[in-house]
Structure 1
């Protein structure tokens, strides 16, 4: 695979002076470096990137999510440079040195797993770099089209073929992770990126698991933005069927409920939310803007997609999506079954 996001830097010398025989003699004064495409084998790159090789392009992050900030940067080596995305992982209470050290070690350990992942629908992990906060920052190729969530806003007229194709790519990437025994843990349309050719890539996989395994009860509280896509068991919520809204003081919010590790079944629930988002054009709980309002709605038994909003979705697509959203993790399909279903729908 030729990485399209890399350029070489070559010095071209002026040829004003000439040798006695009339042939051109290069000047010792180089002109401005010229950028040209080049194949760079990232598999031979070190997992730890020198902090001096990565520079921010702008003063402020280009994106902010539940797990951190994303910076547009340049990664510059001796003979080439490329635009990259650097994700600085955010945790509360960074003055807890023991916690920071524990999570940092975990990230560095997982680096050697992530860097070997190789799939068409998994965003290539290039390594880690220091200098973007107390924890190692994650480096990946920059995607000009951004997230699928932002891409969908102006593209509201996707055809059935396009929608199924996108879902198939996401499912293929998720199947690869699950086959490698990796739980994504934060699967949303904001963590699916899209390149110039419309190809989709899963990003930010594994971070939720690392934070959960830190045994820090603040994991959920630093992760409020994606509560819309979270499986109910991840919120430590009771069965929603027939649940009535309890008194305010009796509501158990996620940050009080302790930490629950993400699972493959939880990934399937999140995938079901993505399915219905693409089929219906609406995010889960789209009518609510605040995370705490979403939590309250979920505790009260409100479904992520009102029936009237998904009534126009084809019966087979709606029923399969709702199966992924089952409250019982054991009733949800495996990702291999999702791939088979989408292949049948596309044939």
Structure 2
């Protein structure tokens, strides 16, 4: 039985392809029950690596099923069919992902950036309070709904935190996510605080929103780590960025995790406390005829066993 037949039996009419990998793909579908379009992630267990099936997939399904927040993509249904595939029915980001949005429009207006970054902060605060970490925050995993509200998606690298008998949080050791969004301690292969890794990735996203480009060149990862650890940030001359916004980014992208801001501190920062002009933040959504800009690129995820090559000598 093919995917369209499986989905039809569950009340879904399969639509177009939204993306495809080596063992998973995402299709748009129409739900007769919900009376709306949804996204269906289809995982072929026969093609998936054993490590993914044993460790990552069970965690992803467990975590997605328990999250209910306005800035996190909703999971409507999870089921496994007799064809050996797992189907995850989710909320559809009808305006696409943040990467596509910025590629078409370039750097976003400050007020719109504030709105979106607040929403990221609220979503990540919510999961951190539940002792869950994402570990793959990047523009491709941030979707926009019909009203251009942000939704955090893709919990494939997420996990629940564990604690020692003494109550200390156990550090992560697995390399997760994408090089361009990875904190220096993660790239170096040392045990890391996954909450502070999430914060670093959020800082990269904020930089991309306000600048329309990545803060670090990841074509040479060892060189990038040196730049990250030097705590040097440069900004495009073509974009006007407030000193408060620069200060926030600088404090988030601190190479020392102990000195890096926490999510709650980000929300309390003066730049986000400034009043948001709803009129200004909505202007970016009104121009649908922008020429596509190839300013930033999609970041490929790196398999955990490749982290070894980035360890500093």
Shorter-chain-normalised TM-score: which range?
A: 0.5 to 0.7
| 1:73 corresponding residue in structure 2 | 29
2:275 aligned with 1:346, yes or no?
yes
1:282 to 213, 222, 225: 213
| 2:223 corresponding residue in structure 1 | 297
The whole-number CA distance in structure 2 between the counterparts of 1:55 and 1:132 is: 19
Cα displacement (A) at 1:70: 2.4
The alpha-carbon distance between structure 1 residues 141 and 319, as it changes in their structure 2 partners (threshold 3 A), is same
2:244 aligned with 1:316, yes or no?
yes
The alpha-carbon distance between structure 1 residues 296 and 263, as it changes in their structure 2 partners (threshold 3 A), is same
Structure 1: which 5+ residue stretches go unaligned? Answer: 1-48, 214-218, 238-256
2:40 aligned with 1:86, yes or no?
yes
Structure number with higher relative contact order (C-alpha < 8 Å, ≥ 6 residues apart): 2
Cα displacement (A) at 1:273: 0.6
| 1:333 corresponding residue in structure 2 | 261
Over the residues paired in the alignment, what is the CA RMSD in angstroms?
3.9
Contact conserved, 1:127 with 1:139, CA < 8 A, in 2? yes
The whole-number CA distance in structure 2 between the counterparts of 1:185 and 1:346 is: 30
1:206-231 deviations in whole A, cap 9, x for unaligned? Answer: x2135999xxxxx75xx67x210111
Counting matched residue pairs gives: 257
| 1:189 corresponding residue in structure 2 | 139
Structure 2: which 5+ residue stretches go unaligned? Answer: 1-5, 163-173, 277-313
Cα displacement (A) at 1:186: 0.8
The alpha-carbon distance between structure 1 residues 89 and 230, as it changes in their structure 2 partners (threshold 3 A), is farther
| 2:284 corresponding residue in structure 1 | none
1:173-217 deviations in whole A, cap 9, x for unaligned? Answer: 111111122111111111111111111111113x2135999xxxx
What secondary structure, in the 3-state scheme, does the structure 1 residue paired with 2:273 have? Answer: helix
2:94 to 144, 147, 150: 144
The whole-number CA distance in structure 1 between the counterparts of 2:226 and 2:83 is: 38
The whole-number CA distance in structure 1 between the counterparts of 2:253 and 2:154 is: 22
Higher gyration radius (CA): 1
Cα displacement (A) at 1:99: 5.9
The whole-number CA distance in structure 2 between the counterparts of 1:64 and 1:304 is: 36
Cα displacement (A) at 1:134: 5.9
| 1:26 corresponding residue in structure 2 | none
- Normalising by structure 2, we get a TM-score of 0.67
